[in-house]
Amino acid sequence: MEVDWTHCGLAPTRKVQISRLFTTMLLKSLLVFVRFFKKLSQTTKTVIRLAIVFTLLTITQSLYAADGYSRSDFNYQSYKPNTAIGLYTGQTCSAIDIDHVVSLKDAYDTGGASWSLSKKQSFVNDKASHVPACASVNRSKGVSTPSKFLRKSDDGKGLEYEIVAFCEYVDIYHSVKLKYGLSFDENSSDTFKTCDMTI
């Protein structure tokens, strides 16, 4: 049995928190119940044991399903950029990638978890969300939202670079999110305001 979280409108990270809270509450209740368990008949004990095992199996499956992101589910068909200049920095790259402006993990966490495999494939191969990016910058960006990407570019903790096309990037990010009905969870509205957009 799998708990279908999508009807609750919860992000996967929130689902995991709820699953863990539920598990903790259940275990505490079971500890309280143990003291009364010895007084029950053998048949009742057996039924209760089976119910407990079933419940724990269901919770375990829910925990795995709640954060079941797999990049391979999206089935990206890679291709080479037709330029050596990265959008983010405006510089010629020694190695260049196609970057998904809205990362696959971001999409998954903000609505894409409930998508069919065909919709995931349509999303990942939609060139409206693709930009050429220097490989090193793309690795640094990772699954970041715009505000986190901007912070990473100049936080003194790794590769440093100037994002010269930040608002162009934010505009693409915003458009793709709206196109696919994805939420803006984990995003800062102030970041979008600097580019004259609201979320």
Where in the chain does DSSP place strands (E)? 96-100, 130-134
Q: Do residue 135 and residue 177 come from a single domain? A: yes
Specify if 161 maps to a domain: yes
Q: Do residues 78 and 126 share a domain? A: yes
Pair (79, 175) in one structural domain: yes
| Per-residue confidence (pLDDT) for residue 43, from 0 to 100 | 79
What does the pLDDT read at residue 2? 43
C-alpha to C-alpha distance for 119 and 122, rounded to whole angstroms? 5
Q: Are residues 59 and 113 in the same domain?
A: no
For residue 158, the model assigns a pLDDT of 84
Walk along the chain (199 residues) and give the pLDDT tens digit of each residue: 444 444 444 455 565 666 677 777 777 776 667 666 667 778 777 777 777 877 776 665 555 445 588 889 999 999 999 999 999 999 999 999 999 999 999 999 999 999 999 999 999 999 999 999 999 999 999 999 999 999 999 988 889 999 999 999 999 999 999 999 999 998 999 999 999 999 9
Is 199 inside a domain boundary? no
Each residue of 117-156: pLDDT tens digit?
Answer: 999 999 999 999 999 999 999 999 999 999 999 999 998 8
Residues 147, 78 share a domain? yes
Structure tokens, 151: 């912070």
Task: Count up the domains in the chain and report the number.
Answer: 2
DSSP readout, 115-160?
--HHHHHHHHT-GGGEEEEEHHHHHHHTT--HHHHHHHTTSSSS--
Give yes or no: residues 31 and 126 share one domain: no
The two most distant CA atoms of the chain are separated, in Å, by 77
Residues 109 and 186 in one domain: yes
Q: Which residues of 93-130 are buried (b: 16+ CB within 10 A; e: fewer)?
A: beebbbbbbbbbbbbbbbbbbebeeeebbebbbeeebb
Q: What is the pLDDT of residues 27-42, one digit of tens each?
A: 777 666 766 666 777 8
Is 33 within a domain? yes
Q: Which structural domain range is residue 76 located in?
A: 71-193
> By the 8 A CB rule, do 119 and 127 touch?
no
- 89 and 159 both lie in a single domain: yes
Let me know if residue 175 belongs to a domain.
yes
Listed residues 25, 43, 66: the one ending a domain: 66
Query: What is the distance between the alpha carbons of residues 89 and 161, in angstroms, rounded to a whole number?
Result: 7
Mean pLDDT of all residues belonging to the chain: 85
Q: How many CB atoms lie within 10 A of CB 161?
A: 17
Q: Which residues pair with 132 in a beta bridge?
A: 98
What pTM was computed for the model? 0.67
Task: Enumerate residues 6+ apart whose C-beta is below 8 A from 67.
Answer: 12, 13, 15, 16
Question: Cα 73 vs. chain centroid, distance in angstroms?
Answer: 13
Q: Among residues 32, 50, 66, which one ends one of the domains?
A: 66
Claim to verify: residue 62 and residue 75 sit in the same structural domain: no
| 141 falls within a domain | yes
